[in-house]
């Protein structure tokens, strides 16, 4: 058995970063994710693995520190919550445009504006459709347990380096704050400079050798024809992600007439709702997208062939429901149910919403 603990989701992000050989974390305090940096500072990993932890002067600075560290081919990350992620949007766009690997954690809270420090899922559009300027996508992972908070840090870095693209763990204040049993990953050493050179030496700014041309980490291209070609290259990369990286979980979907689509904490609530619905004789199932980008369009489209209706359950005014609608593509009914502003739906509310919106009273 591995190292099993009872930990908060945010603390686990920090622990998983140290254990997966992360080179640096740059961040700025914001509720409800401050435990990530607090845990890192208390653990002092610079003494253990050599990992750098630095509190920046702002989220703007921290994401640009990530840009700098990632340019060196190192495993670097940041975390924040909704308003802080908005501040990072510029830097994230530059990271995507410069094709750098990086991990960004968004422990969502309610908005708009300063909003609330209570949990929310209202940053779905921002996370999955780009978020900053220009045509780009993050690869977005949505954990629904403290265990997945652990697992997705290493996975996130792996995907970031596979695609040379920023990866976001899109979670929420509930998963970040709640304590659960977690089996921590084994320790992996940080890469040595030679290993970094081996992995990323073909693109990273590791110092110009006489044996190679200079490496320029930039998102600038003044010639439109070249910039369009670059955009096409990015789109091809996203197409490859759509082919290779779609992840989802299905619970009781095989015979389901009514399918709830939910991610993160909403999927935990909806799982209970499925049990309650089945007890009432309603054949309900839960479809949980694990990657929000790429979204599991194909699978939802298949399920739509034999389902009577879909209910997208999100802590938002209805964002993911648009992707569900596109996936279902008119085959059957799609509705949305959500609470906002830090309010969390109960399983009974979900049951009632499904009955009234899909089955009819």
Q: Are strands 291-293 and 139-141 parallel, antiparallel or unpaired?
A: antiparallel
The token pair at 292 is 């929000």
Determine, following the binding rule CB under 8 A, whether residue 328 of this chain makes contact with another protein.
no
Q: How far is the CB of 268 from another protein (least distance, A)?
A: 35
With CB under 8 A as the contact rule, the residue among 5, 41, 87, 90 that binds another protein is 90
Q: How far is the CB of 231 from another protein (least distance, A)?
A: 18
Q: How far is the CB of 124 from another protein (least distance, A)?
A: 25
Determine, following the binding rule CB under 8 A, whether residue 217 of this chain makes contact with another protein.
yes
Binding mask 37-76 for another protein (x = CB under 8 A): ---------------x-x-xxx-xxx-xxxxxxxxx-x-x
Longest Cα–Cα distance of the chain, Å, equals 75
Smaller CB distance to another protein: residue 104 or 313? 104
164: left (phi over 0), alpha (psi -120 to 50) or beta: left
Helix (H, G, I), strand (E, B) or coil at 183: strand
The DSSP 8-state label assigned to residue 109 in this structure reads: B
Interface residues for another protein in 237-256 (CB under 8 A)? none
Interface residues for another protein in 9-28 (CB under 8 A)? 23-24, 26
- Residues 6+ positions from 296 with CB-CB distance below 8 Å: 246, 247, 248, 287, 289, 327
Smaller CB distance to another protein: residue 66 or 334? 66
Smaller CB distance to another protein: residue 61 or 169? 61
Q: How far apart are CA 224 and CA 325, in angstroms?
A: 35
Q: How far is the CB of 135 from another protein (least distance, A)?
A: 17
With CB under 8 A as the contact rule, the residue among 96, 98, 175, 274 that binds another protein is 98
Determine, following the binding rule CB under 8 A, whether residue 215 of this chain makes contact with another protein.
yes
Helix (H, G, I), strand (E, B) or coil at 226: helix
Q: Are strands 258-261 and 309-313 parallel, antiparallel or unpaired?
A: parallel
Q: How far is the CB of 64 from another protein (least distance, A)?
A: 4
- Residues 6+ positions from 158 with CB-CB distance below 8 Å: none
Binding mask 269-308 for another protein (x = CB under 8 A): ----------------------------------------
Smaller CB distance to another protein: residue 18 or 261? 18
Q: Which neighbouring-strand residues pair with 171?
A: 107
In 10 A of CB 147, how many CB atoms? Answer: 17
Binding mask 195-214 for another protein (x = CB under 8 A): ----------xxxxxx---x
Q: Which neighbouring-strand residues pair with 183?
A: 4
- Is the CA virtual torsion 270, 273, 278, 281 positive or negative? negative
Residue 260 · residue 311 · CB < 8 Å: yes
Q: How far is the CB of 126 from another protein (least distance, A)?
A: 18
With CB under 8 A as the contact rule, the residue among 31, 86, 147, 219 that binds another protein is 219
Kindly state the number of chain residues that form the binding site for another protein, as judged by CB under 8 A.
Answer: 40
Smaller CB distance to another protein: residue 52 or 282? 52
- Contact residues: another protein, CB under 8 A: 23-24, 26, 52, 54, 56-58, 60-62, 64-72, 74, 76, 90-91, 94, 98, 205-210, 214-220, 222
């Amino acid at each position: 058995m591995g190292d099993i603990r009872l930990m908060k989701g945010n603390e686990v992000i920090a622990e998983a970063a140290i254990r997966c050989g992360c080179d640096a974390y740059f961040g700025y305090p914001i509720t409800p994710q401050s435990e990530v940096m607090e845990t890192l500072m208390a653990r002092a990993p610079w003494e253990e693995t050599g990992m750098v932890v630095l509190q920046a002067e702002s989220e703007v600075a921290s994401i640009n520190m990530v840009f700098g560290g990632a340019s060196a081919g190192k495993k670097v990350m940041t975390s924040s919550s909704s308003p802080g992620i908005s501040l990072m949007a510029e830097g994230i766009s530059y990271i995507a445009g410069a094709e750098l690997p990086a991990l960004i954690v968004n422990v969502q809270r309610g908005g708009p504006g300063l909003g609330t420090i209570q949990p929310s899922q209202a940053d779905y559009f921002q996370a999955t459709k780009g978020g900053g300027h220009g045509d780009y996508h993050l690869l977005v992972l949505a954990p629904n347990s403290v265990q997945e908070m652990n697992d997705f840090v290493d996975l996130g870095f792996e995907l970031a380096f596979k695609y040379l693209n920023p990866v976001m763990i899109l979670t929420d204040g509930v998963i970040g704050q709640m304590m659960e049993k977690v089996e921590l990953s084994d320790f992996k050493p940080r890469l040595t400079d030679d290993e970094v050179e081996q992995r990323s030496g073909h693109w990273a700014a590791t110092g110009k050798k006489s044996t190679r041309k200079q490496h320029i980490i930039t998102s600038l291209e003044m010639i439109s024809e070249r910039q369009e070609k670059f955009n096409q290259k990015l789109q091809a990369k996203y197409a490859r992600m759509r082919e290779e990286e779609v992840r989802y979980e299905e619970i009781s979907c095989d015979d389901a007439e009514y399918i709830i689509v939910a991610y993160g904490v909403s999927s935990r609530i909806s799982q209970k709702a499925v049990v309650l619905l089945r007890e009432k004789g309603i054949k309900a199932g839960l479809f949980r997208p694990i990657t929000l980008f790429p979204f599991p369009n194909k699978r939802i489209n298949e399920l739509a062939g034999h389902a009577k209706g879909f209910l997208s359950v999100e802590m938002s005014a209805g964002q993911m429901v648009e992707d569900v609608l596109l996936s279902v593509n008119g085959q059957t009914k799609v509705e949305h149910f959500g609470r906002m502003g830090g309010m969390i739906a109960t399983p009974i509310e979900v049951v009632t919403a499904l009955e009234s919106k899909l089955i009819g009273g």
